[in-house]
Chain A
Amino acid sequence: MTAFMTRRKSLLVAASAALALSLSACGGSSTSTSNPPVAEKPSFAADTTMAKLSSAGKIVIGTKFDQPLFGQKGLDGKPVGFDVEMGKLIAGKLGIPADKIEWKETVSANREQFIKNGDVDIIVATYTINDKRKAEVSFAGPYYEAGQALMVNKDNTSITKPEDVKGKNVCSVTGSTPAATIVEKYGAVLVPAATYSACLEPLRNKQVEAITTDNVILAGFVAKEPDAFKLASDQTFTKEPYGIGLKKDDTVFRNWINDQLEAFDKDGSYKKAWEATAGTVIKTAPTLPAINRHSRLSAPLPLRQPKEPMDVIIENLPQYWDGFLRTLFLSVVSGIIALIFGTILAAARVSPIAALRGFSMTYVEIVRNTPLTIAFFFAAVVLPRLGVTFQQFEVAAIIALSAYTSAFIAEAVRSGVNSVPVGQAEAARSIGMKFSQVLSLIILPQALRTVIPPMINILIALVKNSSVAGAFYVLELFGYGRQLANANGDAVLWVLVGVAFFYLLITVPLGYVATVVERKVAIAR
């Protein structure tokens, strides 16, 4: 079924093959889509995947061999398509010419395994990014957002958008997500089939008016029979982000590919690759989707092994500093959120509205009496299941830390509120102040002064608690410490001394601030 190609397409392949032959002779500075520019002796930091691939001068890329327009094996045995162009562009940036790329066929079932085994270096194969796959491999990109679309007969003009299929017969595969969407969301009458190819005849015979599934699959059908079918629209009505698969947690490589994708977008090679391949059917060129960077800060730094155990700290100072900054970032952001949310919770706790009091009390009691790890587990694992997904694990860490800390802040503020004599509130109420004014003008300003020392203790605990984030994919000070300890079995003590030192660098000044502030704002009664 994959042997077919349009005439235009085979001509293109032939032409590019010829170009490749003629151009490789004169230095390979080609701008042809099929032979993208090859960087001359690019330099990469030692020990990175880029350096390894670049010095080896070859790369193994996994792609599909049966997906028209994205990755389909041509007559010369080489795959062509948008995914293939992406692979070539990346290889070019590594200084690897197209003819040094080894293409391996990957199918949906074996992609994660291929990456894990090291059978391929990267995979560009209509590979949808999802949480399940992210647990096994890492993704650069997304470089394209596919999505559900409609395919109709060429002469059809009545269907241009999903809303047009209401009450009409539409074919899709039994039990698939696109089938459910078109029925539940757009009110189509489903004509189920076992495969998408089995939908083609009913469409031709006008037993159904459209076929629905991913635009990439549909575009493949159109590419084969451009005179019979067309896409109802270039627009999709769901989003399936395609990523470039690579070894899990090779963050340096991942960030480098992301940087390249953005560069391809800027210099026009992304658009050019599209127009030469999938663009022949999906005329509207896509814009590069926002790159999904898990780590807010730069990539983690590679570790160094010292000669003397003690030197582990000095040698890895940049790593410690990087971890220190990340810990500081987590603590400051979570601390500010917790202060605000905790104060609101405390206000709710003393409010005249019973429901608010109940909510605040329940929240504080539950959160305060469960381990922090549960909060992290909830933010990093449960929330994504409920449909709240984060592009960065730091966000989950910040949610967990601030949700947890705010319960303690609320309790501290509440006890501060209780320390303000009740007469203060009565006097304020008796001159006609509303509850919110009493609280914000009279009670809280006085409460916060008495609350500063316990509050600082809570913030110090927060700094230390942020180390739990290390267990949830956020590489902060403690996470670095653990990696360093693993890499330097003989210097674990010194590794931990270093970690402790950098924690103290945050917590000791905080304690000092507490003393100073306490002295300054002590109020006379």
Chain B
Amino acid sequence: MTTQVPGDALVSLNAVNKHYGQLHVLKDINLNVRKGEVVVVIGPSGSGKSTLCRAINRLETIDDGVIKIDGKVLPEEGKELAKLRADVGMVFQSFNLFAHKTILENVTLGPIKVKGLSKTEADKDAMALLERVGVGHQAPKLPAQLSGGQQQRVAIARALAMKPKVMLFDEPTSALDPEMINEVLDVMIQLAKEGMTMIVVTHEMGFARKAADRVVFMADGQIVEDATPEEFFTNPKSSRAKDFLSKLLTH
């Protein structure tokens, strides 16, 4: 395991546990992510990687342990939590664009309502972001009129509009048709190059190889390996990881 100075971490999880009834989904998780780092979380389904990702902005509550964002302990419900969430961008598997709002409104709603930007300012920023992810011409449409890949890129733009300190991606390409996966990954790779701190739960090994600084392998609610992509893919240490990788490669 790579050792880090905790004070250095933008996101830090310390001895985090969570149960769903009898099921122990997060077992004593310790993880630190430094500023600018791209961490890819992989593992078989049911290993707790999505729960881990969602716990970081408290969409899932935890039973014990401490999660800190930029040195601040994640607050309980309320105004403080909302404020902190604005600093943590989140991209979901099923996009979750606001179905009754246009593409442009999806991106401007947060800046206007949460950050208090004027509509003109928010519109200008939003258009720039939409151009950047390649869907500028779709701005006046409703989400349902866009393809999955386009919707997911809008979702990334929506998260970026809040100028977050860290971006969480919860299986961002799992719901996409194969031909649309790359357009989303390209945007993410670009983002990683620009120095965004990212935690990405994915099955896309190609992305992990290309963009990740570290790969975290989870199984049965535990972090089993935490290594560089090179190390992990060429020389996995645990039998669980070997098993997992062998299954991927045979396909």
Tell me the B84-126 residues at the A interface (CB within 8 Å). 84-90, 92, 94, 96-100, 109-110, 113-114
B113 touches A441 (CB 8 A): yes
Binding site for A on B (CB under 8 A): 57, 59, 77, 79, 82-90, 92, 94, 96-100, 109-110, 113-114, 142, 144-145, 155, 158-159, 161-162
Contacts of A441 in B (CB 8 A): 109, 113
Additional A-B contacts beyond A427-B92, A431-B109, A432-B84 (14; CB < 8 A): A423-B94, A423-B96, A424-B98, A424-B99, A427-B98, A429-B59, A430-B85, A432-B83, A432-B85, A432-B110, A433-B113, A446-B100, A524-B145, A525-B144
B162 touches A431 (CB 8 A): yes
Which label, helix, strand, loop or mixed, suits the secondary structure of the A interface? helix
A524 touches B59 (CB 8 A): no
A426: contacting residue among B87, B92, B113, B114, CB under 8 A: B92
Whether A352 sits at the interface, judged by CB under 8 Å, is yes
A-B contact pairs, 26 of them (CB 8 A): A423-B92, A426-B59, A426-B90, A426-B92, A426-B96, A427-B92, A427-B97, A427-B155, A427-B158, A429-B59, A429-B85, A430-B59, A431-B85, A431-B90, A431-B114, A431-B159, A431-B161, A431-B162, A432-B83, A432-B162, A433-B82, A433-B114, A441-B109, A523-B144, A524-B142, A524-B144
B100 touches A523 (CB 8 A): yes
A352 touches B77 (CB 8 A): yes
In the complex the two chains form, what is the Cα distance from A421 to B85 in whole Å?
20
A-B residue pairs, 6 tightest by C-beta: A432-B86, A524-B144, A427-B96, A423-B96, A431-B110, A430-B90
Contacts of A426 in B (CB 8 A): 59, 90, 92, 96
Closest beta carbon of chain A to B183's beta carbon, Å: 20
Closest beta carbon of chain A to B53's beta carbon, Å: 11
Whether A445 sits at the interface, judged by CB under 8 Å, is yes
B82 touches A432 (CB 8 A): yes
In the complex the two chains form, what is the Cα distance from A431 to B90 in whole Å?
8
Whether A437 sits at the interface, judged by CB under 8 Å, is yes
A445 touches B159 (CB 8 A): no
Whether A442 sits at the interface, judged by CB under 8 Å, is yes
Closest beta carbon of chain A to B11's beta carbon, Å: 15
In the complex the two chains form, what is the Cα distance from A157 to B83 in whole Å?
67
Whether A434 sits at the interface, judged by CB under 8 Å, is yes
Tell me the A389-445 residues at the B interface (CB within 8 Å). 421, 423-424, 426-435, 437, 441-442, 445
Closest beta carbon of chain B to A432's beta carbon, Å: 3
In the complex the two chains form, what is the Cα distance from A421 to B98 in whole Å?
10
Q: Mark A459-485, 1 if CB is under 8 A from B, else 0.
A: 000000000000000000000000000
In the complex the two chains form, what is the Cα distance from A431 to B86 in whole Å?
5
In the complex the two chains form, what is the Cα distance from A437 to B59 in whole Å?
16
In the complex the two chains form, what is the Cα distance from A430 to B160 in whole Å?
12
Q: Which residue of chain B has the shortest Cβ distance to A521 in the bound complex?
A: B100
A429: contacting residue among B82, B89, B161, CB under 8 A: B82
Q: Which residue of chain A has the shortest Cβ distance to B92 in the bound complex?
A: A423
Most chain B CB within a 10 A radius of its CB, from A434, A441, A523: A434
Contacts of B155 in A (CB 8 A): 427
- CB contact under 8 A between A525 and B86, given known A429-B59, A431-B109: no
Contacts of B87 in A (CB 8 A): 432
A437 touches B85 (CB 8 A): no
Contacts of B59 in A (CB 8 A): 426, 429-430
Contacts of A427 in B (CB 8 A): 90, 92, 96-98, 155, 158
Contacts of A352 in B (CB 8 A): 77
A432 touches B90 (CB 8 A): no
Closest beta carbon of chain B to A525's beta carbon, Å: 6
Q: Mark A345-373, 1 if CB is under 8 A from B, else 0.
A: 00000001000000000000000000000
